[in-house]
Amino acid sequence: TIVKIGEGTFGEAYKGNGNVFKVVPMDGSFKVNGETQKTSTEIYSEVLLSNTLNWLRKKSSPYHCTSFVETKATRICKGRYDKNLVRAWKKWDTQHNSENDQPLAFPEEQLYVVFVLADGGTDLESFELLNYEEVKSLLLQVVLSLAVAEQAYGFEHRDLHWGNIVLSRDQHEQLDFRLENRHFLVNTHGLSVALIDFTLSRIDTGKQVVFCDLSDPSWFEGPKGDVQADTYRRMKDITGGQWEGRQVFPKNNSVWIHYVAEIIRKKKSFKSSAKDKRALSAFSKRCLSYESATAIVDDEIFQKMWRKEVTLNTPGN
């Protein structure tokens, strides 16, 4: 059974056979929800970025984590939507009143890129957090993941809203992270976090800098006081509007970690004490003073959360 699980301006997400399929129209003249379709050049950038993050899954890498959703395959398709996808789209539309164009509206010669992704679970907006320990586990996994990619590839997610963090409960009691010469075994409290959707992200593969130009003023016109809109504006202030080039702005990761803490604090219900709530609020504020996700790793909120930390020997030591 295939079900639609989400949609964005440029594409849609479906789930089936244990995988998630992100379907994005490309290189056509037909408008996608009123917007120009992504070009193959833009799609290539996202493919390159996703495949680069896949390298962090290798345990032999000096930088290691498994918290960026795994891209299993990428395929180019042409033609009409499969009838099972159309059926899933119509069911979603009935339940959620889709804002996207009906897929049968696309011409028969339409090209699509399909990202085949691991199923990371349920997005943070819909996921039910049980207690403060789960909240701290979520935050630490987000921080360490961004720190690893930040150090390895100058990575900035640039769009880590609560729809782009997915969670699941499994039997993994610990997760493994390698950051520079530090090796962390982290208590998960049964929660696994995956970061998804790198459409707006920035990465330096060593051969090429991949980024999305966010110079369109509409990104920064959201209401003041809205934590997501404020985060886009903070990014603009940090970068000075310079989205391209080899200069990395790791503070962009810090402001998105602030966003995650704020959205949890303001929008999610979970078992916690007054002391816990004060600690979360203080952490959220401190995030804005940090210059990178790497710096946040050692924040006081994460004390005693390591199952084990090993300092790895480096050449010359």
Query: Which residues are identified as catalytic?
Result: 159
Burial of 180 (0-12, 13-18, 19+ CB in 10 A): middle
Structure tokens at 306: 């390591």
User: Residue 231's closest CA among 248, 210, 252?
Assistant: 252
Beta strands per DSSP E along 84-216:
111-118, 122-123, 165-169, 174-179, 182-187, 191-195, 203-204, 209-210
In angstroms, rounded to a whole number, what is the distance separating the alpha carbons of residues 81 and 63? 39
State residue 123 phi and psi, 5-degree precision. Answer: -70, 155
With contact defined as beta carbons under 8 Å apart, do 71 and 55 qualify?
no
Helix (H/G/I), strand (E/B), else coil: 137: helix
In angstroms, rounded to a whole number, what is the distance separating the alpha carbons of residues 59 and 57? 6
With contact defined as beta carbons under 8 Å apart, do 143 and 283 qualify?
no
Planar angle of CA 285, 287, 290, nearest 5 degrees: 130
With contact defined as beta carbons under 8 Å apart, do 123 and 15 qualify?
no
